[in-house]
Structure 1
């Protein structure tokens, strides 16, 4: 009976995790399971406080395919020990440490003991801004003693003490966190491989022709001097899909335009400028990526 009750508590906790953070599978590990979750939303700041013990969460390609790939999870360890894995990397987290997990790739989170951490949703377009090639270092432990890690922890906690932050203030706090962490993430960048350089050239080709209706994988492959199959494989190696990358790149540029152009500019015109010929499709795709409609996004920045 006790074992059954333990699994019932776990199933309830896992259901809450899935609603707050996206699809995860999970299992109880040896020891007495404990789990709770608190959600915190203040406009752009969306995070969960996870308290858990003797359990494991993981995402396979199945869970990834059912989720929104527009995010990274920035994990701020508060107490205890957690082991996070993604790709070939493993981060053993202790109090004060920070790490990054890519929502578009499989991962594993093992709560080996009583643990408390904050999982902050970081929009992909903000973290990857001005970056074309190479992978961000996910499941790397950023040591609690690093000055920028200490400052990032303080900034996050101070932001959480102010739930009345408006849209611009909360997005500014999120951007400040990203600016603090970006240097230590870039320090771990490896020298770009020949394939990374080739991918960078292709992404440059996409950027230079992002407004064209002819921007399709077949055209890109032809211009880059490769087969369509090689193009797909090159993107797949980075956890990307060509068509999805193009759409997300267009949406990110639309979001940038909504923050900067005149309020008299028509929404349909902004979408059209960046390759969305159908306004209904543009509006639906924008809301899926950013959580709000183009009109609401512009209002928040006004």
Structure 2
């Protein structure tokens, strides 16, 4: 297994491509990902104006890649041989078309959708500018039978099983360098189980191996709704299509609770707001915004967590900045 070492393109999104941006990308890919997942042939227009940020890693026979292309990406040239793979595309911005050019595409994955497809022969692909996507290359032997007579499965990217797979793959990027052989095997097994769940369009929320991914998916969802008065374990369980009991068990496996996580994150956001250089909210406004019952509850919770009241904390950071 390789740690993600593919460098980000030197060109920032929205700027012109830096000289050698594509060469740096290709060199990093070949060094870190290896021959098992070769790069396709890109069009000259793509390599000339290559403004792509990326990260990639492998876990055994699974490859994970995140791409954010400010510029369009298009492959071209002859396509030979056989590719017996299952690939999954999760697109959060732009679109990803298989069988480019776009006008003759066989299948297009728009923003907010996923596609899990068996690839039996090489295919070109094309993206529009400002496309952001996660691509997984998975072993066909384990997943193709679940597709039955279908070539592919597609649907919304916010489906519960897709959210869990995305959360788990993101965790792998963060932890891969520290995993021993047993950790690598566990990470791989969970990836395969979650990919199978996507193919089946359901997952077993009581499966212990999926507990870390379930907890992380719930945290990702909670982080996007911290100011929502409806945020709760019940709401998270409903959105993820799991039982509240199994969601609580997933958090408990890591020594946490859903409510404690939400409160901690709200306190963190309130602390950051206290140090904002402009437009600072009052203590009562912060308490209301981050869904504390009242100012007194907020002040007590803040002091317990940070050792100072919100006002004391704001004063200390102001004094330190002078």
Which range, TM-score by smaller chain? Answer: 0.3 to 0.5
- Tell me the TM-score normalized by structure 2: 0.44
The structure with the larger Rg is 2
